[in-house]
Amino acid sequence: MAAPHDGAEGAACQAMIERALASSAAVRTLMRAMERAGCPVDRAFFSCERCAQECQGGYDRARGVILCQQHMQNSRSLIEATMVHELVHAYDDCRAHVDWTDLKHHACTEIRAANLSGDCSFSQEFARGNFNLRAQQQKCVRRRAELSVAMNPTSQGSKDVKDAVAAVWRHCYNDRAPFDAA
């Protein structure tokens, strides 16, 4: 059943995808890296839908990157951060064949996606009401990675989640590929 503004909301989401593809250096860097890694993607890789869950987007091997149109708030920076976040998952899946049932695998790609996407940028954190900005990046990345891994059905509780994130933290937080490539 479509919501009253479903059509306009979907169209706005599609238009923001077009704009991000044309103007976001981070989106283009990731798409080029996927091509080099043997997983070329194009416009059709991105779709908008009304998501059932309280998430901004998702990545699925079969369906590509999904943007949750009702949560995009007509915000260019939010949709770009979401596209980059999900593209980091897609890139990791391409280059490292992520085993989504392995919490450490999942934790690693969530750490990278949160760290590299702008999810934890000044304005996004400010909008969430986190005003203590000193050393906020690491705390934010850790918190968001833990929240994402907690949604993994394999997880048996918060200790499992914290252990998985801690086990891969240093390596994955410092792995900035493909953004560190010359």
Q: Residue from 27, 67, 103, 113 that binds Zn ion (CB under 5 A)?
A: 113
Instruction: Give Dmax (Cα) for the chain.
Output: 48
Give the count of alpha carbons within 13 A of 120, CB side only. 21
Residue number, 6 or 160, with CB nearest to Zn ion = 160
Element (H, E) at 48: strand 46-49
Number of residues binding to Zn ion, judged by CB under 5 A: 3
116 binds Zn ion (CB under 5 A): no
117 binds Zn ion (CB under 5 A): no
The sheet that has 46-49: what strands, in order across it?
Answer: 46-49, 64-68, 57-60
Q: Is 74 exposed, middle or buried (0-12, 13-18, 19+ CB in 10 A)?
A: exposed
Contact predicate 161/155, CB 8 Å: yes
Which of 9, 80, 86, 110 does the annotation list as catalytic?
Answer: 86
Give catalytic status of residue 110 as yes or no. no
Q: How far is the CB of 143 from Zn ion (least distance, A)?
A: 13
Q: How far is the CB of 53 from Zn ion (least distance, A)?
A: 12
82 binds Zn ion (CB under 5 A): no
- Report the interface residues with Zn ion, using CB under 5 A: 110, 113, 148
Residues catalogued as catalytic? 86
